[in-house]
Chain A
Amino acid sequence: MLSTEDLKRRLTMWQDVETKIHAFFQARGFVHVRTPLVVRCPGMEPNLDPLEVSVNGEPHALITSPEYSMKKLVGAGLEKIYTMTPVFRNHETGSQNTPEFSMLEWYAPGTYEDLMNETEDVLKFVLEDETDWSRLSFDEAAVDEFGDPHTDQQRFFVTRYPKDQASLARVSDDGSYAERFEAFGDGMELCNGFCELLDPVEQRARFVQEQEERRQLGKTVFPIDEELLEALGRIKGSLYGNALGLDRLVMLKYAIANIRDIRVVE
């Protein structure tokens, strides 16, 4: 067990970052929401391995992100929402990855530019560092096939993803790029932000395709979240959303290289 001073030191880092995030979003009129950790329909991305659990004999899984629940809340009429929650992804290990980690996720009406500006604002506010984050296009950042940028810059956004890497991001009005971006700080990928695709028909097609990919990989095939599709159909206008790794933000602020060094209890 850590010494009392070390426990306090680590908790202070988390508390600092979490307090600033609450202050930032509440000042902008966001509602702090609570989302379930145990769900019937977890994230379907073929490369993610949700931790599967049995609840009263029924198959469930721990969330890989609060995305589905949050979009349901937007569909139910909440406009600007944020949450900080534990998420779980099996088989992720390393100095920046653990199977359990924390995510800040937020959704609001607005454009791709609005989302990038807001992300830069929250990063500056939490890090207490007014240094601008440069914006490099996907090509300028020389992103390789693994999604890793190759640039000398320390803090930057990679913007304008090619259409074939749109995932569930909207394609820009002129059709030339996907409205998706990622932020990188000190070599860590911090977040993945989207101007969200809200078409339930296309979303269903994508889920069916993901189910098939999971089947081929021999992974558990989860049911399609029908409530989510219904909720998407009720969202009007343009919605942006961002998922930011909270552990890495704490590591970035306090220059800590190993995610285990910010754990409080092993």
Chain B
Amino acid sequence: MASPNDIKKGTVVNRGGDLWFVIDFQRVAPGKGSSFVRTRMKHLTTGKVKEENFKSSENLTFEDVQYKKMQYLYNDGNLYTFMDNQTYEQLSIAKGDIEDAIPYMKEGLEVKVVIHNENALTIELPQKIQYTVTYTEPAVKGDTASGNVLKDAEMDNGLKVRVPVFITQGDDILVNTDSGSYTERITK
């Protein structure tokens, strides 16, 4: 038995035989009322996403899963192939199992593959991923006064992100994979 307070991203919770993968969580102690853990979970076979809250006092069953660091190699449309850099072992995961991660994929990206009973279930993306800006309009004169004006930009893998006006083509930036939003520029 485990406590909801031990939930992390990537924890797999067994709810009456159904396996739910924790995509996101918040540990919340409201000013008044009892503390709880708010989760967003994805069903490991149907892919259905739901939000569920657990009181801190509840008992949960966590599934024993392994997280294996692997590098993304390529896809053939439906199957995405990853490689273990230590052993050169390769495995493939169906597109449908990593739907949310697809826009962030780029060659060589290091991810954590979630393995349960020797089956690769899904992947966990890094919190932030670095991309190179391949296209964005130059800042319009006057915009730079406020650093909070955003403009469209396209990354080296085709991902589209709104970026601050001081970003120029060729800059490397970090994108938050929770929200798909700009985080910061990499200082060269």
Which residues of A does B touch, CB under 8 Å?
A: 1-3, 5-6, 8-9, 12-13, 16, 45-49, 65, 89, 91-97, 144, 146-148, 165, 167-168, 189, 192, 243, 254-258, 261
Q: Does B30 contact A (CB under 8 A)?
A: yes
Q: Would you give the shortest CB distance from B24 to chain A, in whole angstroms?
A: 6
Among B33, B55, B164: residue with most chain A CB under 10 A: B33
* 24 sample A-B contacts, Cβ–Cβ < 8 Å, listed by A number: A2-B184, A3-B186, A5-B164, A5-B185, A6-B185, A9-B148, A45-B32, A48-B31, A91-B29, A92-B28, A94-B25, A94-B27, A95-B24, A96-B26, A97-B27, A146-B28, A146-B33, A147-B30, A147-B33, A257-B179, A257-B181, A258-B178, A258-B179, A261-B183
Q: Does B38 contact A (CB under 8 A)?
A: yes
Q: Does B146 contact A (CB under 8 A)?
A: yes
Q: Mark B24-49, 1 if CB is under 8 A from A, else 0.
A: 11111111111110100000000000
Taking a contact as CB atoms under 8 Å apart, the answer to whether A243 and B31 are in contact is: yes
Taking a contact as CB atoms under 8 Å apart, the answer to whether B181 and A256 are in contact is: yes
Top-4 shortest CB links A-B: A94-B26, A257-B179, A9-B147, A167-B32
Given the complex of chains A and B, what is the CA–CA distance between A47 and B27 in angstroms?
11
Which residues of B does A touch, CB under 8 Å?
A: 5, 24-36, 38, 53, 55-56, 146-148, 164, 166, 176, 178-179, 181, 183-187
Taking a contact as CB atoms under 8 Å apart, the answer to whether A261 and B181 are in contact is: yes
Given contacts A6-B164, A94-B38, A192-B32, 8 further A-B contacts (CB under 8 A): A1-B187, A5-B185, A45-B29, A94-B27, A146-B28, A146-B33, A146-B53, A256-B181
Selected contact of B35 from candidates A3, A8, A47, A255, CB within 8 Å: A47
Given the complex of chains A and B, what is the CA–CA distance between A89 and B26 in angstroms?
13
Please name all residues of chain B whose beta carbon is closer than 8 Å to the beta carbon of A144 when the two chains form the complex.
Answer: 53
Taking a contact as CB atoms under 8 Å apart, the answer to whether A165 and B178 are in contact is: no
Given the complex of chains A and B, what is the CA–CA distance between A261 and B128 in angstroms?
11
Given the complex of chains A and B, what is the CA–CA distance between A96 and B40 in angstroms?
14
Selected contact of B30 from candidates A5, A12, A47, A93, CB within 8 Å: A47
Q: Would you give the shortest CB distance from B174 to chain A, in whole angstroms?
A: 10
Given the complex of chains A and B, what is the CA–CA distance between A17 and B152 in angstroms?
25
Please name all residues of chain B whose beta carbon is closer than 8 Å to the beta carbon of A6 when the two chains form the complex.
Answer: 164, 184-185
Taking a contact as CB atoms under 8 Å apart, the answer to whether B24 and A254 are in contact is: no
Q: Would you give the shortest CB distance from B3 to chain A, in whole angstroms?
A: 12
Residue of B nearest to A180 (CB): B32
